[in-house]
Structure 1
C-alpha cells in the first residue's frame, strides 16, 4: 500500500521538483498511460515529446488535477501528493498554460490573469481596478507584452490570448511558497518568431527560480530551449535525451520507432503534370476590413501557399473566400463561374472546403461523434430521401476511417476524445465524403500535430492535389509552406506583395520569403 506523505514532512535535499512513478490511466477502449515515469529536476526545462495519442495530454492533465490516475504516484519535491483539482495543483506550485486556452472571453485581460488569486485587487467584494491592473501589468511586463490589461479578452487575436495565458500562469509565483513547476503545452503554436523569442527568454528566466515542462511538436524548439527531453510512445516512457547535441531526427526516431523519412513532405507522391491554362480559382481586387486589392490564381491540382507575419491579412483572405469574412470590393470565380462570397452555405454549395486554424472551436463539435462531425456538411450523404439511413451512414464513415487511418475506438466515439491528429483527419474527411470539393482552404492544418500526424496530412494533401483539387495553404511555418507549395504568395499589411515560385528541385529559402514579408 502506498502511504501519502504529510504536507509538512521534510523532503530530501536533492528531491526532484516533480516526479511521476508508474502512472496508469484507462479510458473506455484506450489505455492512455501505461506505467509512465518522469522526473523534472530543480531549475531545469524538461521537454516532453511524443506523437498525438502517445499520452502527453493525459499526463499533463494528471499533473494539474484534471485527471485522476488509476495507479502510480506523483511526488512534488519528494512528497507524494494527490492532485484533485487545478487549485490543488496550484497550491503545490504547479501551473499550466493549456493548448486549448482557458480564458473567460467576456472578462478583461486583468481579470483573467488574477482570476482565483485577486488578493489586494479585491476589497469588500469589489474590484479595485487600479490595483487589479497593476497586478496584471506586472505579469505582462515579464513577457514583454504590450496588451492593455483592461481590454476585453474576446477582442484579442489568438496569439495575444496565448500571451495572456502565459502571463496568467506566472501568477502561481504569488500563490505558492514553493519554487513553482510551470507546464507549457504547445505555447508557440500560433506565435510569430519575435513572440517566440520573447517566450524563450521568459522560459530561460523561469529556470532561475522554477522548473518548466515544455511541450511542443516543433522538435527544433524543444531542443533549443530544453535541458533534457523525455519521449512518450504508446502511453509508455520511451526514454530521454540530453538536448545539447541532439537532433530532431533523434527524437523522431524515438517517437515512431523509425528513422525520419527523407521526403517529409511526400513530394514523390506528387504526380506533376502541366497546369491547366485557365486557373480554377481567380481572385481580383478582393478587399475587406484587413486586406486590400488581393489578386490570387490557383490551378486545379496546385497547392499555393500564402505567407505573412501576424496581421498580414492572410487568414482573413482565406476566411473571406469561404464566405466567413465580409468583403467590400473585388470578385472571385471558380472554374469560370462567379463565386458567391456572402456566406459559408454558398461556399459549400460551390464545392469549397475550409479547415480552420482553431480546430477545437471552429472545426469540430467536441461532444458529437466522429460520424456526426464527419457528415456535418454532407447530411444528404447519409440519407435516403428525408430519412437518415444508419447502415448507409455506417458504411460511409467506416470507409473514410479506414482510408485516412483514423484511430478511434468507434465511429460513435465523441471526437473530443481523439488525439489532435485524428481530429484533424476527421475534419478533412468532412470535405471528402461527398467527392465534390474543388477548392480546399487550409488554415494551419498541422497546428498542434506531431511529426507523424503532420506527415499523414501532407500525404493526404498530395493525394488530393493529384486528384485535381486546388489548394490554398496557410502553413504553420515557412519550412512547411516551402515544402508543400508549388507557388507562394507573400502578404504584408493586407496586400499581396510578391509571388515566389516553389517547384520541386527549385525551392526558395526561408530567407527569400522573409525579405518579401518585411
Structure 2
C-alpha cells in the first residue's frame, strides 16, 4: 500500500536517512523505534511530506509520488497525530477538526455552525469521544485532545479515495496506563479504516501494539522484527549497537568533583502530574545527567531548579538556601543558568546582536544610573567570541543568523560571563553537527574543571554516559536508578535502557 525504496535524506553535515526501505500494508500497525538521533523524526517527516527525500522513491499502491508539503500528503491519505499537539487552544473542537477545510460549511458567505457541529460529532464518534463540538479546546484533558487530533486526521476518510496511513508520534508519552489501554483498543478497532505507524520510546507498548517493528540506528533500518520475533532486550541491543569513542566525549578530561561542596539539593520534590519524590545532590564540578524518554519528567526537574516551576512537596536548596519559592530572577541571582532545548525560542533573541544577547541576563552589571555601558558590553562579547571561537563577523552580528552551534555558544557565554556556577543544559547538542558538538563537549569539560555544577539532559545515551559523573534514570516522573560514572567503569546504554523503558 505505502512503500519507501532506498530513500535518502541529507542535511548540512548530517546524513539523516541512508537508503531506507520501508513498507506498510492495509490495516497494519507498524512500530518504529530507535534512540534519539536515530532518524525516526526525519523518516516521519518524509512520509508526512514535511521533508522531500534527496534520493529513492515514495510509492503508494505501486505508483511513485512526491509530496511538496504535508497538505499534498494528506490529499493522498497520510495524516499525523503529533507528540506536541497541534490543536489551537482558543478554538472550539469543531473548528480545530475542520481547520483549513471550513469551505464545505459556508453558505452564501456565512458558516453553517450547526452543520459543522453535526459533522464534528460524526468524526468524534469514530474515536468514541462524547463531548460538545462547540467546547473550547483548552478545556479538554490531554487524552481528550489526543483523541480530537485523531478524529481530525480521520476526516481524511471523507476527502480521500483509497487507504489511510496515520502516523502516531509518541502518543502515550504523558498518558496513564488506563488511558494507554483505551487508546490501544481504539487504534486496533480503527485498523478497519487505516494503517498506523506507531513511534514510541516505550518498548513494551511498541511490542504489544505492533504487527512489525522497524529498528533504526544512525539513519539506517538495522532490523525489521515480526511480532514475537525478538525480546525487548534484543531490540534494545540493536538500537544502541556501536562502541563509544571515549575521546569523542572527552572522558580523558573527566576529573573527580568536590563532594564537600553541594550546589543544588532536591529532597522529596514533587509536582502533581509531572514529577514525584525526586531526591539528589549536585556538587561543584559534577556533571549529573538525567536520562529518560520524552515526557519522563527531566525537563520539569530542570525548570523547577530554575524557578519556572514551584515544588508542591519536598524541598529544593540552592547553595544551602531554601529555594522553593524562587523565581527565575532569584535563581539567576544565586548563580543558576539555563540553556533550554529550544534555543531559537527560549535561548536567544533573534534580531538582537551577539553582545546584546550575551549581556541580556546581567544588564545591571553593565549599567550606571540606568544607562548601559555599551563599550564594556562589547568588550566582554569580543572576549567570549574569542574564548569560544564563535563564528561571527563581530559582536554586532545578528544572533538569529548564526549557525545552531554558534547560537548555542552565545547562550552558554551569556551565563558563564555572568558568573553562573550552576548550569542546567537541556539537549545542548540537539541539531548540531559533529564539530559543533565537540566544541560543546569541550565547554562542558572546561566548566566542570572550573567547579561548575552541571545538570544535563543529553541528546543520546552515549553522550550521557560519556560526559557524566552521575546518571539518574527518570521514568514516569520518578527516579528509577542512579549510576556512578567513573572513567573505565561506566554503565552501558543497555544498562540505562533497562530502567528507561
**Shorter-chain TM-score above 0.5:** yes
Give the secondary-structure state (helix, strand or coil) at the position aligned to 1:75. Answer: strand
2:171 and 2:83 map into 1 onto residues whose CA distance is: 7
Aligned length: 467
What is residue 81 of structure 1 aligned with on the other side?
A: 65
Shift of 1:94: 0.9
Given that 2:348 and 2:399 are in contact with CA atoms closer than 8 Å, whether structure 1 keeps it comes out as no
After TM superposition, the score normalised by the length of structure 2 is 0.62
What is residue 24 of structure 2 aligned with on the other side?
A: 41
Given that 1:249 and 1:260 are in contact with CA atoms closer than 8 Å, whether structure 2 keeps it comes out as no
Shift of 1:125: 0.9
What is residue 224 of structure 2 aligned with on the other side?
A: 242
What is residue 124 of structure 2 aligned with on the other side?
A: 137
Shift of 1:174: 3.7
**Between 284-293 and 36-45, the greater mean CA deviation after superposition:** 284-293
1:386 aligns with 2:374: yes
1:396 aligns with 2:384: yes
Structure 1 residues 36 and 345: CA distance shift in structure 2, 3 A: same
1:127 aligns with 2:127: no
Which of 207, 214, 219 in structure 2 is aligned with 1:229? Answer: 214
Any unmatched runs of 5+ in structure 2? 391-396
Shift of 1:247: 2.2
After TM superposition, the score normalised by the length of structure 1 is 0.61
CA-atom RMSD in angstroms = 6.3
1:105 and 1:163 map into 2 onto residues whose CA distance is: 14
1:439 aligns with 2:416: no
2:198 and 2:353 map into 1 onto residues whose CA distance is: 30
Q: How does 1:366-377 map to 2 (within 5 A)?
A: 375=358, 377=360
What is residue 429 of structure 1 aligned with on the other side?
A: 412
Q: How does 1:303-452 map to 2 (within 5 A)?
A: 319=303, 321-325=305-309, 334-336=318-320, 341=325, 343-355=327-339, 359=342, 363-364=346-347, 375=358, 377=360, 385-387=373-375, 393=381, 396=384, 400=388, 429=412, 433-434=416-417, 436-441=419-424, 445=427
Which of 50, 56, 72 in structure 2 is aligned with 1:66? Answer: 50
Give the secondary-structure state (helix, strand or coil) at the position aligned to 1:275. Answer: strand
Which of 175, 188, 199 in structure 1 is aligned with 2:159? Answer: 175
Given that 1:24 and 1:71 are in contact with CA atoms closer than 8 Å, whether structure 2 keeps it comes out as yes
1:96 aligns with 2:111: no
Shift of 1:351: 1.2
Given that 1:287 and 1:329 are in contact with CA atoms closer than 8 Å, whether structure 2 keeps it comes out as yes
Shift of 1:335: 2.6
2:306 and 2:335 map into 1 onto residues whose CA distance is: 10
Given that 2:215 and 2:238 are in contact with CA atoms closer than 8 Å, whether structure 1 keeps it comes out as no
